[in-house]
Amino acid sequence: MGEAYDVQEIERRWQARWRDEGTYEVEADDPRPPFYSLCMYPYPSGAAHQGHVRNYTFGDLIVRHRTMGGYAVLSPMGFDSFGLPAENAAIRTGVHPRPFTDARIAELKESIERLGAVYDWRREVRSHDPGYIRWTQWIFLRFLEAGLAYRKQAPVNWCPGCQTVLANEQVLADGTCDRSGDMVVKRNLEQWFFKITDYADELLDDLDDLDWPERVKTMQRNWIGRSEGAEFDLAVADRDDAAGDRAIRVFTTRPDTSFGMTYVVLAPEHPLVGDLTTPDQRSAVEAFVAEVSTHSEVERQSAEGPINKRGVFTGSCAINPFNDQLVPVYLADYVLTGYGTGAIMAVPAEDQRDWDFAEAYDLPIVRTVAPPDGWVGQAYTGDGPAINSRWLDGMEKAEAITAAIDWLEERGIGQRKVNFRLRDWLLSRQRFWGCPIPVIYCPEHGAVPVPDDQLPVLAPDDVEFRPTGESPLRSHEGFLRTTCPVCGQVAIRETDTMDTFVDSSWYYLRFADPHNTEAPFDPAVVAHWLPVDQYIGGIEHAILHLMYARFFTKALADLGVAPKALREPFARLFTQGMIRMGGSKMSKSKGNLVAPAKYFDTVGADALRLFHLFVGPPVDDFDWSEQTDEVIDGCARFLNRVWRLAMGEVAPVSGATAPAGDLARAVHAFVAKVSDDYDRWSYNTVVAACMELTNLLYKHVQAGGDTDIAEGMDALLLVMAPMAPHVTAELWERRHPGEHIHAQSWPTFDPALAAALRETMIVQVDGKVRDRIEVGAGLDEAEMQRLALASTKVQAALGGASPTKVVARPPKLINLVT
């Protein structure tokens, strides 16, 4: 009996070797071509869960595969260590968030290492390190100088549960907080914003060239929500008071339908409401505005149908500049103050919302685009010739839009206008455990940036965490009181911290040059490694993190901090599927975690990794079920088979016969197939192919012949090396003393050898397979037909008839049609 496969001992030993020998540490002057592989750095919530395991298994596989492919692979890891859970724990337990977070990081790091995932740990970045905070603040100040960071009073999304402001992106469609689930309410506060809208066009356009999942790109496009149209003024009719001097500015994407405008709608919060309301309508308008203000954003947006399209007439009319007709001015809750101009021209014939409102309020409907024959619907938004539109009549949609805008511009009434759904990024958070915003408020000089040489601004440690909902910074005199950098007078510090998405918007740049004390990073080093060649993470970051990181990259490049040419941070993105259990995402908060530790301690990391790779396509979600443990056991069983095979422990079986076919050809075909599978992320079929090859090698050994399986064995181990790194490293070293499998080149194959020497020609009669004939490569159609007709099975199927048609696809298939 040979040596047992001691999983625990082998995995621990190789993990120590990779760490101690710095196997995956790289430098920018490495002569090999660079490859930057990155998994989204995790929020440290304690020991790894299966989602981490899956993510880092894919990431580690890429690192090892690319290294074997001849690249110098940058594989860094860090921790997104600021955030709410640590602060909430502090409030609960009184323990400062830092030791709490450091302990969670240690746990997570330990389980990542236990997985056998390899990183250049010298580059580790933690958001809460003073050395990282310093540069996050420094970047904020550069943005401030450039006008990309600004402060304004704004109605903000306030989460009562988290006691903080949220970004629009953090409010779910049902109006609840994406963290606590509480209903978000509106509040007016002075807040810091990043001007991400300056980059709206570029963020949209550059999506086209990214090798990202189409789904993620679509989500970003929708979020940016670019729409082209026109803005123009409508004069207020028959008023000699203040309102008469004003104009109502509207935004429309359909200026071609302007002749169909039958009323105008303002948002209830529109500044002209007071002026436009006539005395006899005042009480109705005031009642309406008051009622709308009591509705939350969500109630307002979730209202459905014409009944709920509530509105009120102001008593005033406006003049449609296209035909000089008077149109009534209404207020309605379906017009939003934050988009466009907060006022619209209503064209019920070509907009369903306007149609619904017009019907409810008995307003006229005039079609200005001829619907197709047989049209039975209400509003028609498709293409068609303009009608009832004087000089636009007969033009198609696109042409009419251009003509209408030209007309507006010639008369100085309006102009072409692009609007975006994207809003500026609100980054202020009323929390303690985040990166302090480096600003000082002076009674004389207002908001003054903290000078660079005073960075980082660090939160004090001697604070008390109380469940008051207020950041301890607000009541910490030592932190709060300071002096103005300009005049030296008493001043106070900003007590808000930054959204943690700020930290994660540039960490991938810091990884390239993590110990720089002169700058956040050296642009030359960043230019060497960036953009990230392969970024891997969850689909949940499709909008927020990925959009913010793209914005930061562009802004930093424009400010000369990052390389000018670096317009995008992540060249290729892969979003892995979620692990679900009982229909919902497996997560700590849902309490349905299946901890990896018990698998590490039994079947081992290699088996667990193999399972995650084998269970299905990486993009697909996976349902963890009662059967899952059995599948994992199956993976462990397979590794044991590989072990016994490689160690020469497989005994011949009496009566077994060697499988047909040349083993060398099978091995080359195997390498050809799996190399392709690796490139297209088809890891589940790689594992299947490895199992097949293992089974084939087994049969050769069991047959007891003199077939040498060494070449096949080596190819198998090399192909499996990125997937099951420990056992393959161990077996390789035993078979090739002094060698390290992960330093080997990826196996090559001979295409001629990989191609089958003989093909199996499929003979069909009327589309049904009737015979298979072994044929040599390169025979022609006539020969195929001759062979096919010679087959007794084919003759039987034909039943004496002769085919009326022959479809041949040399050399694999021939179909005889009767």
Partner RNA sequence: GCCCGGGUGGCGGAAUCGGCCAGACGCGGAGGGCUUAAACCCCUCUGGUCCUCAUGGACCAUGUGGGUUCGAAUCCCACCCCGGGCACCA
CB of 759 to RNA, least distance (A): 8
Nearer residue to RNA within complex by CB, 74 or 156: 156
Distance CA 559, CA 549 (A): 15
Nearer residue to RNA within complex by CB, 38 or 645: 645
**H runs (alpha helix) in 350-415:** 352-360, 397-410
**Beta pairing, strands 326-332 & 263-266:** parallel
CB of 730 to RNA, least distance (A): 19
Nearer residue to RNA within complex by CB, 435 or 697: 697
Distance CA 84, CA 81 (A): 10
Nearer residue to RNA within complex by CB, 246 or 641: 641
Q: Which amino acid, residue 212?
A: W
CB of 461 to RNA, least distance (A): 38
Closest CA to 215 of 673, 575, 725, 535: 575
Nearer residue to RNA within complex by CB, 390 or 768: 768
Nearer residue to RNA within complex by CB, 62 or 335: 335
CB of 316 to RNA, least distance (A): 19
Nearer residue to RNA within complex by CB, 533 or 759: 759
CB atoms within 10 A of CB 391: 13
Nearer residue to RNA within complex by CB, 281 or 419: 419
Distance CA 176, CA 173 (A): 7
**Beta pairing, strands 481-483 & 490-493:** antiparallel
CB of 213 to RNA, least distance (A): 9
CB of 291 to RNA, least distance (A): 13
Nearer residue to RNA within complex by CB, 131 or 810: 810
CB of 486 to RNA, least distance (A): 40
Peptide linkage before 811 cis (omega within 30 of 0): yes
Nearer residue to RNA within complex by CB, 801 or 817: 817
Closest CA to 312 of 261, 277, 355: 277
CB of 336 to RNA, least distance (A): 4
**Beta pairing, strands 622-624 & 579-581:** parallel
**H runs (alpha helix) in 595-627:** 597-600, 605-614
Distance CA 561, CA 557 (A): 6
CB of 80 to RNA, least distance (A): 21
Q: How many CA atoms lie within 13 A of 93 on its CB side?
A: 12
- Angle at CA 408, nearest 5°, toward 421 and 256? 65
Q: Which residues pair with 248 in a beta bridge?
A: 234
Contact indicator for 159, 166 with CB cutoff of 8 Å: yes
Contact indicator for 742, 23 with CB cutoff of 8 Å: yes
- Angle at CA 317, nearest 5°, toward 312 and 319? 140
Closest CA to 107 of 22, 61, 42: 42
Nearer residue to RNA within complex by CB, 153 or 792: 792
Peptide linkage before 456 cis (omega within 30 of 0): yes
Element (H or E) spanning 189, and its range? Answer: strand 185-194
Distance CA 228, CA 416 (A): 8
Nearer residue to RNA within complex by CB, 119 or 599: 599
Contact indicator for 46, 84 with CB cutoff of 8 Å: no
Cα dihedral sign for 148, 128, 54, 121? positive
Nearer residue to RNA within complex by CB, 515 or 768: 768
CB of 7 to RNA, least distance (A): 13
Contact indicator for 273, 292 with CB cutoff of 8 Å: no
CB of 445 to RNA, least distance (A): 37
CB of 548 to RNA, least distance (A): 15
Element (H or E) spanning 644, and its range? Answer: helix 628-646
Nearer residue to RNA within complex by CB, 199 or 479: 199
CB of 618 to RNA, least distance (A): 10
Instruction: Please name the residues in contact with 255: beta carbons below 8 A apart, sequence gap of 6 or more.
Output: 229, 230, 232, 401, 404, 405, 408
Q: How many CA atoms lie within 13 A of 306 on its CB side?
A: 11
CB of 335 to RNA, least distance (A): 4
Contact indicator for 200, 419 with CB cutoff of 8 Å: no
CB of 103 to RNA, least distance (A): 32
Nearer residue to RNA within complex by CB, 239 or 249: 249
**Beta pairing, strands 425-426 & 439-442:** unpaired
Element (H or E) spanning 215, and its range? Answer: helix 214-224
Closest CA to 501 of 170, 67, 10: 170
